[in-house]
Amino acid sequence: MRLTTFSLCYVPFTAARTYQGPIFSILVLFFLLLPGWSQAQSVRAVSADSVDAIVRKRMSANHMPGASIAVVHQGNVVLAKGYGLANVELNVAASPQSVYAIASISKQFIATGIQLLAQDGKLKLDDEIHKYYPQAPQTWQGITLRHLLSHTSGIVREGPAFNSAKRQPDSVIVQSAFSLPLQFPIGSKWQYCNVGYFALADIIRKVSGQPWDVFLKQRVFEPVGMTATRTTTLSELVPNRVDGYEWEADQLHRAIPYRALRPSGAFLSTVLDLAKWDAALYTDKILTQASRKQMWTPVLLSNGSSYPYGFGWRVDSLQGVQRIHHSGSLPGFRTEYARFPQSGISVVVLTNGEGDEPVQMAQDIALLYIRSFNEKSGNKKQ
């Protein structure tokens, strides 16, 4: 397979390359004593070859045509590369600019839209769904936006009206679940629910007065500079679009994409755009600190226990290190975006194959950087 690579790394003290005066040694010592400098050096110390070995091993094990990855440290891209092929038939190499279906990584953006409206004072997370769907059944009484965001509503995972080959209003999908019994008492359990994110997207439309994709473009993607991120489409031209594949009967086949636009897995994006989003999540540019804290807090169930999921993000740990992440799955695409706040490391893996390899890739890559970070800082905990 052809391999195209592209990498970025930041250098905090570029002046050292050109200045050799008597104050030089003092300046170098000053920067070496800065925590940020030490952390940056430990991150940069990870060999790109080590990352390559992880990615190639996982791709080979699952017959994955192509992948793009980005490693981000405190909002700065330190490594971004493409592997294999974005389009097998045309022999087009994958790159950091390749545009993938990111599947359920999209949920965090729907959740962000709801939180923005809450920040604007236009809704509350504890608003009941009947406020926006007055025709909802009595059994849904007590379901709030918070339940929808955290997958604890009890509503079925998929709406019966959903048809992957048909575009239809989100409200139709939500209403098709009205006649079905709740899977469990409201708030008592966690169970993945795409219908809830259809409802949340539709509520963004109702409250903002704009289609939810337009609202998110104007309030999130454009301010952050995510120029390659947009909703999925089969008819419009998308530069650098990646094709999805699946391995069946010992052969690679084209995956049949959904024609339907699912808010629960709506967007196309690149690893570089998601790196920009990662940088924004260190600031109040889009979401306030309070909103981000809510988004990354495990949901509290009605029995007093918690479940490791916030609003569009899973909240758990990897070998004792806090992890905030989400994976995605659509025909021909598997994705993972993982943040490790304690070390400031984030890893984005987008692929055009099927299987759980992106999650494993992101874990293995993250551990390389986290171990380097810990060794440099003298913290041996892994």
Mean pLDDT estimate for the chain: 88
Phi, psi angle pair for 282, to nearest 5°: -90, 0
pLDDT of residue 54: 95
Pick the closest to residue 324 from 345, 302, 306, 303 (CA basis): 345
- Strands 321-330 and 314-318, by their bridges, are antiparallel
Helical (H) or strand (E) element with 185: none
pLDDT(106) > 50: yes
Residue 170, pLDDT above cutoff 80: yes
At residue 25, φ and ψ (nearest 5 deg) are -65, -40
Structure tokens that stand for 176 in this block: 């098709």
Residue 178 identity (one-letter amino acid): F
Rounded CA-CA distance 64/353 in Å is 5
Mean pLDDT of 219-230: 98
The H or E element spanning position 326 is strand 321-330
Q: Which of 68, 138, 133, 64 is nearest to 99 (CA)?
A: 68
**First CA to last CA across the chain, in angstroms?**
34
Pick the more confident residue, 223 or 41: 223
With CA atoms as reference, report the closest residue to 15 among 2, 6, 26. 26
Q: Please give the model's pTM, rounded to 2 decimal places.
A: 0.88
Q: What are phi and psi of 73, to 5 degrees?
A: -120, 115
Tens digits of per-residue pLDDT, 81-91?
999 999 999 99
For the segment 39-83, what is each residue's pLDDT rounded down to a tens digit?
555 555 788 999 999 999 999 888 899 999 999 999 999 999 999
Mean pLDDT of 186-207: 98
Rounded CA-CA distance 190/307 in Å is 7
